[in-house]
Structure 1
Amino acid sequence: MLESINLAALPGFLLVFIRVTSFFVTLPVFSYRNVPTRHKVAFSFFLALIMYFTISTPVLPLDATYFLLILKEAAVGISVGLLAYIVIGAIQIAGGFIDFQMGFAIANVIDPQTGAQSPLIGQYLYIVTMLFILAVDGHHLMIDGVFYSYDLIPVDQFLPLEEENWIAFVIDAFNQMFVIAFLMATPVVGCLFLVDVALGIIARTVPQLNVFVVGLPLKIFIGLSVLVIGMTFYVMLIRNLFETMLTTMREFMQILGG
């Protein structure tokens, strides 16, 4: 029984298992708290087992270089998944902008998926984004990206960290996140800005009217109305955001692979 087990292949399988598990630590949808940890580990194990017999993994000796490869695999999975999570985080930033103008910034909710506080509108748009990703089989595309990461970053190859182009790429990804968040928040924030201007004019022309009492429900009504009217626009932006996330993951892995 023991002789039939190829122990020489165990180090290579362990590297594959570490990368897949590291991806699922930070990758959207798979890294959420409402997914049990034992399910994440079991799914990572069976997925790594399938990948090991699909990709070409060399036989690696257990030496000091191997332990550096373990750190490299963990860094690749965590960094690529975190970059994808940062791009998706544009939804929360846009919701924060909208909540600040609507007067909802004083009330945050606990996101059960991450355990952190998130704005009300941001949480709503984030749920819509997750439903869109699941509807278009985005979770399968993420797994596909994990599989093809071995074509870009082989198991036995170290990262070219002496080059600084990956730092510029991460900064550019941050810039894209804020640009997308600004585009998503612009329709509602622009309408609410016009409401503020109108309330300011009314406060000057009709001093007897208490604009603080009228303004808050009016801004909430206008903001929710614009959200309903512009939902098609938001779905288009969510689709572009998801495409940006996949493109960012692929380009970042190409940079890490040299």
Structure 2
Amino acid sequence: MITDPQGTVLALFLAFCRIGGCFMTLPGFSSGRVPTNIRLFLALGLSLAVLPMLWDTLYPRVSTSPATMIGLIGSEMLIGIMYGMIARVYVLGLQFTGSILTMAIGFTAPGGHDVLEDSQDTAMTSLITFSGLMMLFMLDFHHVVFRALVESYSVTPVGSVLEPQKLLITLTDTLRASTNIMLRLASPFLIYGLLFNVAIGLINKLAPQIPVYFISTPYLITGGIFMLYLAIAAMVRQFADGFAPVFNSF
């Protein structure tokens, strides 16, 4: 029997603020293709699931003044958004890799609707991004994020003062680690595009009367697509394997 309904609801709402803030920015769940109602009920259901484990941490904080409660709501949402942003920045890095890849192999077709977001993107970039995100879900990356959220109550307790410098350092370190991984994934295509264009430039110097650009573009695209066919499985696997070390390091 619930002896304090008001305190129970407020404790649940505090848990929902941190978890819901994470759902606002978490890759896949925050996609424009996922209805808002589904995201809301998922965040609420997860908050109900973890509330018994966090009861001793959350319930003592609800018996405060309304002004303090508003501050707790804001800080909890900021912490949740921060955890979701770390995962989102890493997944956006794969979109960065796809953009580099398409430019390196000359596949600069007009952009269409992105599979995950309400933005314009090429078909190849959408394919790579969707494949990487699907692999993350197959390896239960969301379980890693949710476990980190529950453990964050011991690292960053409810009501603790957030340091903007620490948050900024966390984001910059995530960007640095993600960029290193994504450039490593795109490096074979960058080398291929560089060597191919240098060779075509030399041929153009030897025979300037031939429109080498129009002749070479189909070969450049064909070779790049064939390389992607051979390498996409390893790319997606390395991308998925790199998520846990990057996320858990912060």
* TM-score, with length taken from structure 1: 0.86
| Kept in 2: contact 1:13–1:49 (CA 8 A) | yes
Aligned to 2:158: 155
**Mapped partners of 1:34, 1:165: distance in 2:** 32
Give the whole-Å Cα distance in 2 for the aligned partners of 1:71 and 1:62: 15
Q: How does 1:204-223 map to 2 (within 5 A)?
A: 204-223=205-224
Q: Deviations over 1:211-257 (max 9, x none)?
A: 12111111101111111222343134213332244225xx1xxxxxx
Equivalent pair of 1:11/1:62 in contact (CA under 8 Å):
no
Bigger drift between 110-119 and 45-54 goes to 110-119
Structure 2 counterpart of 1:105: 108
Matched residues, number: 246
The residue identity in structure 1 corresponding to 2:186 is A
1:89 aligns to what SS in structure 2? helix
1:1-258 aligned within 5 A: 6-55=5-54, 56=56, 57-59=58-60, 60=62, 61-161=64-164, 164-248=165-249, 251=250
Conserved? CA contact 1:104–1:120, under 8 Å:
no
For structure 2, list consecutive stretches of 5 or more residues without a partner in the other structure: none
Is the CA contact 1:109–1:117 (under 8 Å) kept in the aligned structure 2? Answer: yes
Q: Following the alignment from structure 1 to structure 2, what is the Cα–Cα distance between the partners of residues 236 and 52?
A: 34
Q: Secondary structure at the match of 1:53?
A: coil
Write out per-residue CA displacement over residues 30-85 of structure 1, whole angstroms, 9 at most, x where no aligned residue: 11122211111112112111211121223322421111011001111112211210
Percent of residue pairs identical: 23
State the AA in 2 paired with 1:8.
Answer: G
- 1:168 deviation in Å? 2.5
Task: Please list every run of at least 4 consecutive aligned residues from structure 1 whose deviation after the TM superposition is greater than 6 angstroms.
Answer: none
RMSD (Å), alpha carbons: 2.1
In 1, Cα distance between equivalents of 2:238 and 2:122: 19
Instruction: Give the TM-score normalised by structure 2.
Output: 0.89
- Are 1:69 and 1:158, in contact at CA under 8 Å, matched by a contact in 2? no
Letter in 1 for 2:126: Q
Is the contact made by 1:29 and 1:139 (CA closer than 8 Å) also made in structure 2? no
- Determine helix, strand or coil for the equivalent of 1:230: helix
| Contact map agreement 1:92 1:118 (CA 8 A) in 2 | no
Query: How far did residue 28 of structure 1 move?
Result: 1.0
Structure 1 counterpart of 2:216, one-letter code: G
Please give the alpha-carbon distance, in whole angstroms, between the structure 2 residues aligned to 1:53 and 1:121.
Answer: 45
Q: Please, which runs of 5 or more residues in structure 1 have no aligned partner?
A: 252-258
Change (3 A) 1:176 1:246: closer
CA distance in 2, matches of 1:129, 1:112: 12
Query: SS where residue 30 of structure 1 aligns?
Result: coil
